Structure 1
Amino acid sequence: MEDRKIERPVFPKKAVITSGMPYGNKELHFGHVGGVFVHADTFARFLRDRIGSENVVFVSGTDCYGSPILASYRKIVDEGEYNGTIEEYVRENHEKQKEVLDKYEMSLNLYGASALDRAGEIHKEVSENIFNKLYEDGYLVKLSSPQFYDPDKKVLLNGRQVVGKCPIEGCTSEKGYADECDLGHQYMPSELIDPKSILSGKTPELKDVTNWYFKLDEYNNLLNEDNNYLKNNSNWRKYLLNTIEEFLKPPIIYVKRKLLDGITDIEDKLPKHTIIDEPKKPSISFVFENLNDRDKAREIFDKLGIRFRTGKTLVPFRLSGNVEWGIEVPEKEDLKDLTFWVWPESLWAPISFTKTYLESIGKDKEAWKDFWISKDSKVYQFIGEDNIYFYGIAEMAMAMALLGINSSDVVNWENINLPHLIANNHLLFMDKKASSSGKVKPPMARELLNHYTAEQLRMHFLSLGLVKKSVSFMPQAFMKEEDKQGPDTVLKDGNLLTNVFNRLARSCFYTAQKYYESNIPVGEISKEILDESNDAILTYERYMYNHEFHSVTYVLDSYIRKMNKYWVNNMRIAETNGDEKLRKQVLIDSFHAVRTTLTLIHPIAPNSSELLREYLNVNNKLWSWDYIFEPIYKFIDEPTNHRLKYLEPREDFFEKHESQLAN
């Protein structure tokens, strides 16, 4: 391959892959699996083949703590549907999640739980250590901020016990909670519009509560620098970087133009600011130099009775709260009896899980740094688009702080190894956004397996192109009969394996059994087939490097169909003419096509790929990209005694679901 002079992507020597953590109050629905986990697992499996399985750690787990879990638990207990402890409740959901992921052939080194077993113990240690370091290095601040209080119930309300309208200008969220909406916008509780307590249905009061906050707003400039560097020097998804950029605007207040009519001295009353007044827009923008000045301006507008909305900007990131179901925050100064807010501790949970896994295989307690911090390593985090703020803003700034990068430092970004985010757009259901708490209920991931195989679903989810836009999942098994039109789209990509590749592989086996005593004929591979195969390998590799999984499926589709067509056209000629030489050449070429396809399909359809490898009777080196351009003979341990495992008539390597066979 040296003479091709194609620049191939460079992969890290070690890698961690993480996938977004499902809450511990539910089973996995189709979006968890199809929107994130399948992509993360495919990339983890590819990297194991590409850089060695010992150099790859794939972790995720159940997000056990926080107000959503506590609220769900209390509800089913109050309604008499459950009588166990909250830990038992979380454990049951964790085991169900883990079971479903196994059924989808996920290859997690550890699927932990942030509150359970050894992973929970290590996570508690990691949480305390991170808090202490941030505190000692001066990155934390005590802030008294208003928290909602229900006077009827006489309790402080946690984040999910208050619902109102998001105050951020232009936000389309239908649900704003105490200090964040369900689209990830952050604001102070006092900004929430029309708040209501979900306990009493009444408007709650605000009481000042003191918590620990990370000085996130001070990292605005560095985050902007990093974002610009990534735009010009990385293969990060552009829409992801654009979304991050939207959060990094200066502090702004938007006021409807008509509300300022007759007020002449407003500019003199406000802190230092600039005004953006675009005649075609209904609002005037007041831009401030810092968050404190913006908040002073908010007070002034309030006193004048002028309604306003704030823009996206960085605010201090809350680390603590008073939800009893959580990890205790170390007592500092006069603050005690606090627990970690679930979002920050879930951001560092993958470190806890990595440490847990490495400990379980006998590694040193500091070995996690070889995967998370070393310049030869890379962390790839697969997330949904709703969580970009937390991973792309809060996590990155805290990582800088923990690496000793101050907000005023001059940074050489080439030397900073921060996690690489891969954010997918929404996976819709029947053209609508499905949510466990919304009108459109998502099907459970477990339910899908009653109608489709895991590998059919894996192929389909990868093909949807969530890198580009939100895409609808439309399984005919969940449609009314009158709504079904044409073939089931879920099966289209899976058919490439269950139909086309199956035919090619079986044809090779049956021909070898009939004419060559179950031997793979030895000979030179045709240049045409070699070139097609090598081009497919290199194109596939580039798309995998860029996490363009839909393009990976296109490469496979094109290559497999070409190889199948080559077999059909040329073997027909050989059989018609009794041309033994041509038959042998076609079989040599087609076994190379099977060998190539098998390595490329291995990360996507692992179990069936392993079955076919066993029938080929070749060793595990077949999966290694160290030998990706080698012919199949390279993987035969005893060439003189080699035989294919006998394939019975009508046997399939890549099987259809039993419900599809009945039809």
Structure 2
Amino acid sequence: MRPLFPKRAVVTAGMPYGNKELHFGHIGGVFVHADTYARFLRDRIGEDNVIFVSGTDCYGSPILESYRKLEKNDSIIIQDYVRSNHIKQKEALDDYEISLDLFAASALDKAADVHNEVSATIFKKLYKKGALKKLKNSQFYDPEFKVLLNGRQVVGKCPIQGCSSDKAYADECSLGHQYMPSDLIDPVSTLSGLKPEVTDVTNWYFDLEAYLELLKERNDYLRLNTNHRKYLINTIEEFLKKPCIYVKKDYAEIVTTLQDQLPSFEIDEQSNKSSLTLVFHTLTQREAAQELLSSHGVQYRTGKTLVPFRLTGNIEWGVPVPQVDSDDTPLTFWVWPESLWAPISFTKTYLMEHGEAEDAWKDWWNSKDSMVYQFIGEDNIYFYGIAEMGVFMALQDYDSKITPDDGQLQLPHLIANNHILFLDKKASSSSDIKPPMAKELLSYYTPEQLRIHFLSLGLSTKSVSFMPKPYIPGADPKAADTVLKEGNLLTNVFNRLVRSCFYTVQKYYDSKIPEGAITPSILEEGKNAILDFERGMYNHEFHSLTYLLDTYIRNANKYWVNSMKQAESTGNDELRKQVLIDSFHSVRVTMTLLHSIAPTGCEMIQAYLHADKEIWNWDYIFEPLTFFLDSNVPMEYLEPKVDFFKKHESQFFI
């Protein structure tokens, strides 16, 4: 049975911060996968039924911190700083042929106005639903600079047991773990280099813990009934555990003496053998236990669990929060929650810019006929897989459901990729190992070579290293560049097959495909490749698609070489005709499957064939090439040494 696709789809890709250009991880880890799927859906369900949006994340402490450092030497205002990076990001996306319908910016132009309005509407609805609570929480304060510190202005060690993050900030680490600021280990202010003080501030929080059972129910449902990636479901499950504390067994005697004073708890005998695992029923109980243990000098770490999801902060540069209480002080949204619904804002902006009504976005986000596909990195699973799902369930008009009714805000389908490493190490703009910028790579490779290579890495199953030879210190000049393996399938094998077909048909048959039936075995092989490709795309198994294409293209090329050699050596014109008919069919199948991965080369083939654009339409996927051609119009004449899939100019000297 063939898979069923939605009637309409929104595709989103993670939003890069507005303090930097795009590096290879943005492109290779998220955007290429999202673009490939968006392009496929346009062919599969119709381009008018797909909206692909993303944008620059303009707010947040990383931008403020970068701007603070820049401001010392420049008079640029923060809006212009963000805009300059937004423009550079858009240029990089264009260079990689990322076909976004809208690449907006949360603080710029029409999208900013729409985003502010959407954010206010969501906040008011959550407040009216009773899903928000105002809490006093700890925030770091730099006594030397006499300012409250936000996000990236504080660094320390993550308090979550077993966390391998290389850097932790005020209330989240680089791996996406969430915790209260008071739990951060060994905090240091990035402004003064001193240990910051802790003061109390008041903010609005989403009561995420209240949605724990629904989130568990939904995760179980996803595991049994959907094609969500198993590691995504397992990662979400880790956060849906009861609150716990890990205490070194050196302190076991103290814990025993405090047992009657501690809130009710159980000891998990199956957990970490080097520690006592104290399991509590609620987060409030765990917090009380933490306070008591700390007062008696007991060292501990906390486990992953749901904590209240902070919605607001006191940073002036942010989306304004509507005031719903008489004692409200002006606040702005914390960057993470408003970035979760930013794709709704961008969808609405795109539709309004194209003359649609203000509520037209609901046909895309609130309809069971539609699906939202969100491509993210593994560090963001907590925010999208848990916080977003809780917030979106709370935004339903009536009782929250894991499968919302038609007309209610639907829950997106998440496609989370593992880390793409650089030379076997995790690289990021905030780490010691700096990643190459996306535009830099285009000095050595073409966009299509990089696109197919990034898809082949198999980030759906594990973290994989990107190993570009020009960046490997001391690389053997004679050694192969692993990045070119999949690209060679395009520039060498398939390019050679397409050229051979064109040169032969124009030499012998006046640039028109001879009449005749496709060999049944060739027809069947093409049909199987189409169905397998469709299934792989439905399951977002992008690496399997590159393997499938590799096998199919090499088989087609082998058939051409062996059969045409026989035809030429014997002067058998009937065999030559049959090989040409069969091989053009293989070209037709390949170019249609490859269209979402290497669009420029495939569309060049279409132009030289003088084929109708319906050749990309999957409603006609099993039709032969002649279905899309005018039998009276010859193909475009192909000059010698014209390539449909080009190598990078630097590769001609290798």
Structure 1 length normalisation: TM-score?
Answer: 0.96
In 2, Cα distance between equivalents of 1:368 and 1:410: 21
1:370 and 2:363 are equivalent in the alignment: yes
Q: Is the 8 A contact 2:393 2:401 kept in 1?
A: no
In 2, Cα distance between equivalents of 1:410 and 1:505: 52
Q: Is the 8 A contact 1:351 1:368 kept in 2?
A: yes
Q: Is the 8 A contact 1:463 1:551 kept in 2?
A: yes
In 1, Cα distance between equivalents of 2:281 and 2:270: 20
The change in CA–CA distance for 1:280 and 1:171 in structure 2 (over 3 A counts) is closer
Q: Output one character per residue of 1:141-168: Cα deviation in whole Å (capped at 9) or x when no partner.
A: 0000011111111111111111111111
In 2, Cα distance between equivalents of 1:651 and 1:555: 26
**What is the aligned partner in structure 1 of residue 484 from structure 2?**
491
In 2, Cα distance between equivalents of 1:120 and 1:183: 28
**What is the aligned partner in structure 2 of residue 261 from structure 1?**
253
Q: Is the 8 A contact 1:229 1:413 kept in 2?
A: no
1:160 and 2:190 are equivalent in the alignment: no
SS of corresponding position for 2:133: strand
The change in CA–CA distance for 1:278 and 1:357 in structure 2 (over 3 A counts) is closer
Structure 1 residue 608 displacement after superposition? 1.2
In 1, Cα distance between equivalents of 2:203 and 2:110: 28
Q: Is the 8 A contact 2:215 2:390 kept in 1?
A: yes
User: Structure 2 matches for 1:465-476, cutoff 5 A?
Assistant: 465-476=458-469
Structure 1 residue 49 displacement after superposition? 0.2
**What is the aligned partner in structure 2 of residue 655 from structure 1?**
646
SS of corresponding position for 2:69: helix
- Worse overlay, 534-543 or 324-333: 324-333
Structure 1 residue 306 displacement after superposition? 1.6
**Selected match of 1:18 from 6, 12, 15:** 12
Calculate the aligned-residue CA RMSD, in Å.
1.4
In 1, Cα distance between equivalents of 2:378 and 2:132: 28
User: Structure 2 matches for 1:632-651, cutoff 5 A?
Assistant: 632-636=625-629, 638-639=630-631, 641-651=632-642
**Selected match of 2:124 from 117, 125, 132:** 132
Structure 1 residue 485 displacement after superposition? 6.5
- Which consecutive unaligned segments of at least 5 residues does structure 1 have? 1-6
**Selected match of 2:280 from 284, 288, 309:** 288
Q: Is the 8 A contact 2:404 2:411 kept in 1?
A: no
**Selected match of 1:556 from 546, 549, 558:** 549
1:117 and 2:123 are equivalent in the alignment: no
**What is the aligned partner in structure 1 of residue 240 from structure 2?**
248
In 1, Cα distance between equivalents of 2:645 and 2:471: 23
* Aligned partner letter, 1:147: Q
In 1, Cα distance between equivalents of 2:76 and 2:246: 49
**What is the aligned partner in structure 2 of residue 35 from structure 1?**
29
The change in CA–CA distance for 1:242 and 1:278 in structure 2 (over 3 A counts) is closer
The change in CA–CA distance for 1:523 and 1:217 in structure 2 (over 3 A counts) is same
**What is the aligned partner in structure 2 of residue 446 from structure 1?**
439
Q: Is the 8 A contact 2:252 2:276 kept in 1?
A: no
The change in CA–CA distance for 1:248 and 1:111 in structure 2 (over 3 A counts) is same
* Aligned partner letter, 1:45: R
1:609 and 2:602 are equivalent in the alignment: yes
**Selected match of 1:193 from 185, 188, 195:** 185
User: Structure 2 matches for 1:208-357, cutoff 5 A?
Assistant: 208-261=200-253, 264-278=256-270, 281-333=273-325, 334-357=327-350
Structure 1 residue 484 displacement after superposition? 5.5
1:546 and 2:539 are equivalent in the alignment: yes
In 2, Cα distance between equivalents of 1:574 and 1:479: 46
* Aligned partner letter, 1:296: A
Structure 1 residue 412 displacement after superposition? 5.6
Q: Is the 8 A contact 2:419 2:459 kept in 1?
A: yes
The change in CA–CA distance for 1:67 and 1:520 in structure 2 (over 3 A counts) is same
Q: Is the 8 A contact 2:396 2:404 kept in 1?
A: no
SS of corresponding position for 1:499: helix
Structure 1 residue 206 displacement after superposition? 0.9
Structure 1 residue 337 displacement after superposition? 1.7
The change in CA–CA distance for 1:544 and 1:414 in structure 2 (over 3 A counts) is farther
Structure 1 residue 410 displacement after superposition? 6.9
**What is the aligned partner in structure 1 of residue 526 from structure 2?**
533
SS of corresponding position for 1:268: coil
**What is the aligned partner in structure 2 of residue 53 from structure 1?**
47
In 2, Cα distance between equivalents of 1:413 and 1:276: 36
The change in CA–CA distance for 1:574 and 1:96 in structure 2 (over 3 A counts) is same
**What is the aligned partner in structure 2 of residue 4 from structure 1?**
none
* Aligned partner letter, 1:71: E
Q: Is the 8 A contact 2:246 2:278 kept in 1?
A: yes
* Aligned partner letter, 2:45: I
Q: Is the 8 A contact 2:134 2:204 kept in 1?
A: yes
Q: Is the 8 A contact 1:330 1:336 kept in 2?
A: no
Q: Output one character per residue of 1:126-148: Cα deviation in whole Å (capped at 9) or x when no partner.
A: 11111111111111100000111
* Aligned partner letter, 2:103: Y
The change in CA–CA distance for 1:616 and 1:74 in structure 2 (over 3 A counts) is same
Q: Is the 8 A contact 1:226 1:413 kept in 2?
A: no
Structure 1 residue 366 displacement after superposition? 1.3
In 2, Cα distance between equivalents of 1:412 and 1:662: 57
In 1, Cα distance between equivalents of 2:485 and 2:185: 46
Q: Output one character per residue of 1:427-450: Cα deviation in whole Å (capped at 9) or x when no partner.
A: 111111111122211000000001
In 2, Cα distance between equivalents of 1:108 and 1:279: 46
In 2, Cα distance between equivalents of 1:482 and 1:53: 44
The change in CA–CA distance for 1:563 and 1:264 in structure 2 (over 3 A counts) is closer
The change in CA–CA distance for 1:211 and 1:486 in structure 2 (over 3 A counts) is same
In 2, Cα distance between equivalents of 1:345 and 1:277: 40
Q: Is the 8 A contact 2:403 2:411 kept in 1?
A: no
The change in CA–CA distance for 1:279 and 1:438 in structure 2 (over 3 A counts) is closer
User: Structure 2 matches for 1:383-398, cutoff 5 A?
Assistant: 383-398=376-391
List structure 1 runs of 4+ shifted beyond 6 angstroms: 413-416
**What is the aligned partner in structure 1 of residue 60 from structure 2?**
66
The change in CA–CA distance for 1:480 and 1:321 in structure 2 (over 3 A counts) is same
Identical-pair percentage? 64
Q: Is the 8 A contact 2:243 2:281 kept in 1?
A: yes
User: Structure 2 matches for 1:513-592, cutoff 5 A?
Assistant: 513-592=506-585
- Worse overlay, 250-259 or 299-308: 299-308
Structure 1 residue 483 displacement after superposition? 5.0
Structure 1 residue 277 displacement after superposition? 3.2
Q: How many residues are paired up?
A: 651
**What is the aligned partner in structure 1 of residue 138 from structure 2?**
146
In 2, Cα distance between equivalents of 1:604 and 1:469: 21
In 2, Cα distance between equivalents of 1:479 and 1:541: 36
Structure 1 residue 650 displacement after superposition? 1.1
Q: Is the 8 A contact 2:165 2:173 kept in 1?
A: yes
SS of corresponding position for 2:591: helix
Q: Is the 8 A contact 1:25 1:90 kept in 2?
A: yes
In 1, Cα distance between equivalents of 2:648 and 2:313: 48
